[in-house]
Amino acid sequence: MKKKRFNEVQILNVLKEYESGISITDLSRKYGISESTIYVWQNKYAGMELSDLKRLRLLEDDNKRLKRMYATLSMDFDLMKEALAKKLDLDLSGEKWREI
């Protein structure tokens, strides 16, 4: 995964400069980023304060953790289902499995 060059505080500072009236072209030259990056940041972080941004980051990290946990549990369930089917000689696609 590509490492981010700007932290939340820097992103907010760029957006505040944009809101104060500095043109996108000047900001993109000053910080060495594309104009589209500023627009993406504006869509994602518009109207947020630093505390909101930290909260968003925590929620995103928690969401990633929960997705990984779900994926692990789902794989474990599939493995157990296959092991049980082999032990009981069941067809996983058949109706017998759904009745169990």
5 pLDDT exceeds 60? yes
Torsion of CA 51, 53, 55, 58, to 10 degrees: -140
Q: Which residues contact 20 (CB under 8 A, 6 or more apart)?
A: none
pLDDT reported for residue 85:
84
Q: For residue 70, what are its two tokens?
A: 């779900």
The boundaries of every CATH 1.10.10 domain in the chain are 1-48
Of 29-33, 45-49, 87-91, which has the strongest mean pLDDT? 29-33
Mean pLDDT of the residues in the chain: 86
Q: Which residues contact 24 (CB under 8 A, 6 or more apart)?
A: 18, 35, 38, 39
Q: For residue 98, what are its two tokens?
A: 């759904």
pTM over 0.95: no
In the chain, what percentage of residues exceed pLDDT 90? 56
Hey, which CATH number is domain 1-48, 1.10.3470, 3.20.14, 2.40.160, 1.10.10? 1.10.10
Helix (H, G, I), strand (E, B) or coil at 16: helix
The whole-number average pLDDT for the span 79-85 is 89
Instruction: Compare 54 and 93 and report the one with higher pLDDT.
Output: 54
